[in-house]
Homo-oligomer: A and B are copies of this chain.
Amino acid sequence: MQELISVSESRKCLLLAELLRTDGFVSGQQLCGRFGISRTAVWKMISQLAEEGYEVESVPRKGYRLVACPDVIRPELVGAYLLNRYEGRMEEGRAGSFLRYYDVTGSTNNDAKRLAEEGAPSGTLVAADCQQAGKGRRGRTWSNPAGTNIAMSLLLRPDIQPVHASMLTLVMGMAAARACKEAAPSLQIMIKWPNDIVCEGKKLSGILTEMSSEVDCINYVVVGIGINANLESFPDEISSTASSLKLLTGKNICRAELTASVMYWFEQYYGVFLKTQDLSGLMDEYNSLLAGKNDRVRVLDPNGEFTGISEGINRRGELLVKTEDGTVSEIYAGEVSVRGIYGYT
């Protein structure tokens, strides 16, 4: 079993959380008391943070002040932001309560699946700075160069029927949209059904949900999500259909904060989902975020294309599309094109 960091037990997370949430100085004494360790031990922890790229000002008789964080999605910083979202106490089992980080990996979904097979608990989040063979839906690729984007996969072990697991993709879509809105309030961020996050017709985020199940119970679900955070240039073939938060806002995004925010919002929406094991408590908010709602969409059905008006999702996450003759189709899988509205396929 590979080692996981428990956010609620990691002193480094707790220390960084304390430094992050204090505008001014945190006294050394305060930190000693908080962690039950000596001043020297506190000083050592601070020194270690400095070595790792955190800029910490240290003033005698005042204490320590965090001046700047490196743009990393390492567990101590993601965990610190998460702790602050939960007012300093993060229960194990919540989304992101256990963390595993890679500088470079093939696919965080594969990492999370391996951890799941080894028995990692529900709520484990795998994040990577650089993902070299990231997986998109249906075998497409989704890769990240180092130091720019977010690639992460959340492991869940929900006690729900396997047939309901597909809805978790939509729950994560909502969390990603909500978190991106927080990070870039000026942008009009929407969801392209079922789970792409889009802005100005360009894709910011994609989600790939994988599941291991028996016939009537789930072994585990891995919800992988990639977010174009600070990437500034895209390959030609996708530059017209993809963008990043940085390109759209002109500002650098703090990836650790955004990662924690996605986990926080996921946990909120997931709690609502689990109550009814469907989206009845979430569909109104989802539909308010849905790109192309009440517009004409083209449904690429394997049995034949058709067009109709998108009426939003139902409680099972199916897209309702009303055709000319007034019948409403419930679209489960497949892809809905909103070409003509947003310019992407």
Q: Which residues of A contact B (CB under 8 A)?
A: 113, 137-138, 161-163, 165-166, 169, 194, 208-217, 219, 332-334
Contact = CB atoms under 8 A, between A and B. Distances in A.
Nearest to A335: B216
A301 to B, nearest CB: 12
A213 B211 contact: yes
Given A161-B333, A162-B162, A333-B161, A138 B208 contact: no
A213 B210 contact: yes
A216 B334 contact: yes
Contacts of A208: 214
Task: Name the residue in A113, A210, A211, A215 with the highest tally of chain B Cβ atoms < 10 Å from its Cβ.
Answer: A215
A106 to B, nearest CB: 12
A275 to B, nearest CB: 16
Task: Name the residue in A194, A210, A214 with the highest tally of chain B Cβ atoms < 10 Å from its Cβ.
Answer: A214
Nearest to A165: B215
Given A137-B214, A137-B216, A162-B162, 13 more contacts: A113-B212, A161-B333, A162-B211, A163-B163, A165-B215, A169-B215, A194-B215, A209-B215, A210-B213, A210-B219, A211-B212, A211-B213, A216-B332
Nearest to A212: B212
A162 B215 CA distance: 10
B210 A210 contact: no
Contacts of A165: 215
A161 B211 CA distance: 13
A166 B211 contact: no
A137 B166 CA distance: 22
A11 B32 CA distance: 73
A219 B161 CA distance: 18
A217 to B, nearest CB: 6
Nearest to A213: B211
A197 B334 CA distance: 37
Nearest to A207: B215
Contacts of A161: 333
A194 B166 CA distance: 24
Given A162-B162, A333-B161, A210 B214 contact: yes
Contacts of A215: 137, 165-166, 169, 194, 209, 333
Contacts of A166: 215-216
A217 B210 CA distance: 10
Nearest to A109: B214
